[in-house]
Amino acid sequence: MLSGVSGELIGYFCVGDEARVAGLDEQSGVADVGVAMRPDLRARGDTEAFGTAVLTHARQLTGSDRFRATVRRGNSRGLLLLGHLGFHPVSRHGPYLVLTG
């Protein structure tokens, strides 16, 4: 969980097995990452800073510079954010797009 200065919940993230969508195999040299941000805060335009902070912390936790994320195909905001963070689609997995960055 990530919280702001006043202690309120901003969002959460996970890495590794906890972030991997069921049925998707682990990929050598790539850390899976999952993230969610409070909807009311997404509307304020803080998502890119939040995503950057998550990836910075995930690098420290995993030692990896390569990440993979899965996003439902209809999640245009999530896809846009991941694109801004340097991710690009590499495959599909059920209703998800698989992106690496």
DSSP strand pairing (67-72 vs 31-37) = parallel
Sequential pLDDT tens for the chain (101 residues): 555 667 778 888 999 999 999 999 999 999 999 998 888 877 777 788 889 999 999 999 999 999 999 999 999 988 989 999 999 999 999 999 999 99
What pLDDT is stored for residue 42 in this prediction? Answer: 77
CATH homologous superfamily of 2-100: Gcn5-related N-acetyltransferase (GNAT) (3.40.630.30)
Residues 49, 56: Cα–Cα separation, whole Å = 11
Q: Is 77 helix (H, G, I), strand (E, B) or coil?
A: helix
Strand stretches in the chain, DSSP E:
2-3, 9-15, 31-37, 67-72, 88-93, 96-100
Residues 47, 26: Cα–Cα separation, whole Å = 27
What pLDDT is stored for residue 9 in this prediction? Answer: 83
What pLDDT is stored for residue 46 in this prediction? Answer: 79
